[in-house]
Amino acid sequence: MEMLQVVRADGEYDAKLEPNLRDEDLKKMYRYMLLVRRFNERMLLLQRQGRIGFFIESTGEEAAQVGSAFALARSDWVYESYRDPGVCLVRGVPLKTLVDQLMANADDPNKGRQMGVHWGYREWNLVSISSPVGCRLSQAVGTAYAAKFKKDNIVCVTSFGDGATSQGEFHSAMNFAGVFKVPVVFLCKNNQYAISLPVRRQTASANIAMKAEAYGFEGVLVDGNDVLASYKAMKAAVDKARSGGGPTLIEAVTYRMGGHSSSDDPSKYRSTEETELWKTRDPITRFRRYLMKKGLLTESEDRRTLEEVENELVSTIKESEKVPPPTLYSMFTDVYAEMPWHIKEEADELMGEKGQ
């Protein structure tokens, strides 16, 4: 299986393969990638400082996030992953809303109910994340089924890691998608690791994309560190889905440049040579080179963008830190639409205690 690539690591590109994007959009893409990179770095720092509880970074995976998100319509639905802050941002989620989630404060639309990076925003059709790996895929199939049923012209995308492909739920979801031919796109960001397990020990298949054949639809292999290739692959898949062509599995080949999460030490299970090699394939450096070659970015513009991004982050963090935590009572709501008597008793008891 061939891997789709538009821009090479050195910034050279195949003009025949360039997607049809406006210069404006290319610049926006770059800015988003920078923002995601700096967001990751900042948040990891906040975590180290104890200002947020837990964090999972997505450094190295900016292109796959931003490229694929750019290919979606506002009305499309996304079952995003914890490594998708870029997808959230591209879809319009304010930076502060993401930081609020990490701080689990009262402004978080999820009411501070989940660990960091478990995004979920109804307003932007981003479905609330959960931790168990793999279980969101069949839900995405269901949403796609429902959209098709209602004759809404939308596509449902779900993004997950290489590790997730081992779960039984991956299989069920792929199989249902093939059988019901629903407008769903499975985006596997193969970042080479599931915590410590390298992908070659996750599965014996030659790659992940080819697994789609077992379900009767197409798998596509794409360079996930190439934002234009990531865009193109997703665009083709959503166009196909939207026009009734059914599901696609995209494998975006990328690399988790950092640890698995803020609690992980990757030096235990992988070599410096390997990480150094992947640094030469950095998606941001590559896209920067491309933009400069195309005359769409200068050194000074680049510096300015970075500064803007930094300022935005600093001021957002400041704002989010001002927001109080959720109210005590909020611990008891939303278990059911209406609070049943036994939870009410518990809430009353606790509120009474704290009232004393």
Partner 1 sequence: MTVMNIVQAVNRTLRDEMRRNGNMIVLGEDVGRDGGVFRATEGLLDEFGAERVVDTPLSEDGIVGMAIGMSLYGLLPVAEIQFMDFIYPAFNQIVSELAKFRYRSGGQYPAHVVIRTPYGGGVKGGHYHSQSTEAYFIHTPGLTVVTPSSPHDTKGLLLSAMRSPDPVMFLEPKRLYRTIKEDVPDEEYLIPIGKANVVQEGSDITLVSWGPMVQTCKEALPLAAKEKMSVELIDLRSLMPFDIQTVIQSVKKTGRVVVAHEATKVAGFGAEISAQVSERAIDSLKAPIIRVAGYDTPFPYALENSYLPKPERILKALRKASSY
Ligand X SMILES: Cc1ncc(C[n+]2csc(CCOP(=O)(O)OP(=O)(O)O)c2C)c(N)n1
For the segment 157-196, give every residue that binds partner 1 (CB under 8 A).
163-164, 166-169, 171-173, 175-176, 179-180, 194-196
The CB-of-66 to partner 1 minimum distance in angstroms stands at 24
Residue type, 238: V
Give CA separation, 327 vs 51, 128, 225, 354, in Å: 19, 21, 42, 12
Q: Which residue in the list 269, 303, 304, 329 is annotated as catalytic?
A: 269
Long-range Cβ contacts of 23-29 (<8 Å, 24+ apart): 23/296, 25/70, 26/291, 26/294, 26/296, 27/291, 27/296, 27/297, 29/66, 29/67, 29/70, 29/227, 29/231, 29/287
The CB-of-140 to partner 1 minimum distance in angstroms stands at 6
256 is catalytic: yes
Question: Residue with the closest Cβ to ligand X?
Answer: 161
Instruction: Name which position in 11, 109, 216, 245 contacts partner 1 (CB under 8 A).
Output: 109
Instruction: Name which position in 67, 112, 134, 161 contacts Mg ion (CB under 5 A).
Output: 161
Evaluate whether 30 touches 306 at the Cβ level (below 8 Å). Answer: no
Evaluate whether 283 touches 60 at the Cβ level (below 8 Å). Answer: yes
Q: What six digits make up the tokens of 107?
A: 């402004």
269 is catalytic: yes
The CB-of-132 to partner 1 minimum distance in angstroms stands at 5
Residue type, 131: S
Q: Give the one entry of ligand X, a second copy, Mg ion, none that residue 330 binds, where binding means its C-beta sits below a cut-off of 5 to 8 angstroms depending on kind.
A: none
The reply to whether 103 sits near ligand X by the rule CB under 6 A is no
Size of the site for ligand X (CB under 6 A): 15
The CB-of-174 to partner 1 minimum distance in angstroms stands at 10
> How many other β-carbons are positioned within 10 Å of the β-carbon of residue 123?
10
Instruction: Name which position in 3, 9, 17, 146 contacts partner 1 (CB under 8 A).
Output: 146
Phi/psi at 150 (nearest 5 deg)?
A: -85, 0
> How many other β-carbons are positioned within 10 Å of the β-carbon of residue 295?
8
The reply to whether 143 sits near partner 1 by the rule CB under 8 A is yes
The CB-of-258 to Mg ion minimum distance in angstroms stands at 12
The CB-of-83 to ligand X minimum distance in angstroms stands at 5
Segment contacting partner 1 by CB under 8 A, of 90-98, 106-114, 230-238, 312-320? 106-114
Contact residues toward a second copy (CB under 8 A) are 166-172, 175, 178-179, 181, 201-206, 210-211, 213-217
Distance CA 248, CA 13 (A): 25
Distance CA 253, CA 226 (A): 9
Distance CA 90, CA 32 (A): 7
Enumerate residues 6+ apart whose C-beta is below 8 A from 59: 37, 40, 41, 256, 257, 258
For the segment 115-174, give every residue that binds ligand X (CB under 6 A).
131-133, 160-164
Instruction: Name which position in 36, 135, 188, 208 contacts partner 1 (CB under 8 A).
Output: 135
201 is catalytic: no
Active-site residues, by number, are: 256, 260, 269
User: Which residues contact ligand X by CB under 6 A?
Assistant: 83, 131-133, 160-164, 191, 193-195, 256, 260
